[in-house]
Structure formats: C-alpha cells, structure tokens
Amino acid sequence: MPKTISKPGFLALNCAAGLLLATMSLSAQAINIKVSMTVDNSYALFYGTQTAATNFVGSDFNWPTVETYNFNLPANQYMYVVTASDLNVAQGFLGQFENLDSNYKFYSNDPQWQVMATGLGNIGAPYTGSAADLALLTQEILDANGGGNASNGWVGLTAGPVNGSAPWGVLSGIDLAARWTWYSSNGDPDPTTPGFNHDEWLVFRIPVAATPVPEPGSLALIGLGLAGLARMRRRQA
C-alpha cells in the first residue's frame, strides 16, 4: 500500500523546507573575511563573480611585508589574486584567509584555489581599481573560463615550501602551516624557485562558498529540523 504523509509529517517537511530556504538566503548574504597575505613580488586582491572582477581590495609590491584586509564578501562570489614576479630568485603567493562568521581558516595552498596564466608578461598586470584594470582582469577571466589563455583555462596551483622556508624566512602574521604557491608552466614540482617566468602574469581565484558557507549555526538549525522530522516519523510508526 502506498504510504501517505500524515499532517504532522507534512508540517515537519514544511518546516525542514523552510529552514533550507532560510539557509539558502543566508548563504547569499555577505560574509566577513580577513585576509593576511603577501606575494613575491607583487599582487592585487579583487573580488567579483565567476565572470567578472567587480571590486578592488588592495595591492602591494613588497614581499617581506604582510598586508591585512577585512571586508564583506557576498557568499556567491570569488576572491581573485593577480600576481607577478621580478623573474629573480623566487616567486610565490603566501596567505591565510579567515571566514570570521564561521571561524573557518584556509591557506594559499588550499586545493580549492584555481590559477591561470595570462602569458602577457610580468609587467602591465591590473594593480588598481581603475575601470581599465577591472576591464582587463575581467577580459582575462573570461578568456580563462573559455580555456583560451596560456594555461588553457583554470588549473590547480602548485604548492611549494611552508612559511619559514628559504629564501624568505618567517613572515609573521601568517601561520607556519601556510605554503608558498605558484603556477607551474613547465612541470616543475616547485615553481617557487628559481626565478622563472611561468607565463606571468597569473590570477588565483577561489569561490567564497569554499570557505565554507552555510555557517555552522544554520547547519545546526537544519539538523534540529531533520531531528524533529525523524521524531515525528518514529511516533507515526
């Protein structure tokens, strides 16, 4: 005999669906992000959608200094890190990223980062929030989305040594577990040394949803809703 859903069961299902919807709308809200990072030799941090850079956060041209940024990031967007080197000694991207709403922390070597190489050279990268720079970065994002750039699209990054390693030493403000990373254009298992042009300039990106959302609080709410549903089911049985 086909099983019908009783009224309490229907109410519980409704309740669970409501919680899911509430969670989905939560995940569309902005989350509070703290970034501590540096790049050998230079970078600019942006965010935006999967197809466009929309907001400039900051840039720096000095690898021994760690910069910190606090900003609100829409949960359905991406962080973008534009990088270039001086083609000398070493090159790398080192950072830690904290979702202050969920207390989730990850590093520059998180496997959810993607990287792409523009092949446009180590100078001329978009390092400001000007309309021209946002347009240039957006063009290169679209190019990589279509696989039409030097790296044939977005690929996985290559992790080098941990924070504290030579030739940089310890960069304070970033955990020692974080690793210097780069794009390897030639199969070098550690493209952070020696100095070399791995088809620069590069762009790293990660979806904010990887940080992760929904938050533990809303997951707990869903859990409570499902537990309630299970209890009602048991009472029916």
- Stretch in the footprint of Ca ion (CB under 5 A) among 88-96, 103-111, 209-217, 218-226: 88-96
Nearer to Ca ion, 37 or 159 (CB): 37
DSSP 101: T
Residue 86, interface with Ca ion (CB under 5 A)? yes
- When binding is defined by CB under 5 A, the residue of 36, 83, 85, 108 that contacts Ca ion is 85
Left, alpha or beta for 50 (phi > 0: left; psi -120 to 50: alpha)? Answer: alpha
DSSP 176: T
- Residue 108, token pair as written in the block: 């520059």
Residue 38, interface with Ca ion (CB under 5 A)? yes
With CB atoms as reference, the residue minimizing the distance to Ca ion is 38
Min dist CB 181 to Ca ion, Å, is: 14
- When binding is defined by CB under 5 A, the residue of 13, 22, 60, 219 that contacts Ca ion is 60
Map residue 141 onto helix, strand or coil.
Answer: helix
DSSP 4: P
Min dist CB 222 to Ca ion, Å, is: 40
Nearer to Ca ion, 85 or 151 (CB): 85
Min dist CB 42 to Ca ion, Å, is: 8
- Stretch in the footprint of Ca ion (CB under 5 A) among 56-64, 123-131, 139-147, 155-163: 56-64
Q: 143 - beta bridge partners?
A: none
Residue 193, interface with Ca ion (CB under 5 A)? no
| CA trace torsion 223, 225, 228, 230 (10° rounding) | -70
CA 100, 157, 202: angle at the middle one, nearest 5?
90
Min dist CB 37 to Ca ion, Å, is: 8
Residue 59, interface with Ca ion (CB under 5 A)? no
Containing 219, the helix (H) or strand (E) segment is: helix 216-236
Give the residue carrying structure tokens 């709410």.
221
- Residue 184, token pair as written in the block: 């390897």
Min dist CB 167 to Ca ion, Å, is: 9
Q: Which residues bind Ca ion (CB under 5 A)?
A: 38, 40-41, 60, 62, 65, 85-86, 88-89, 91
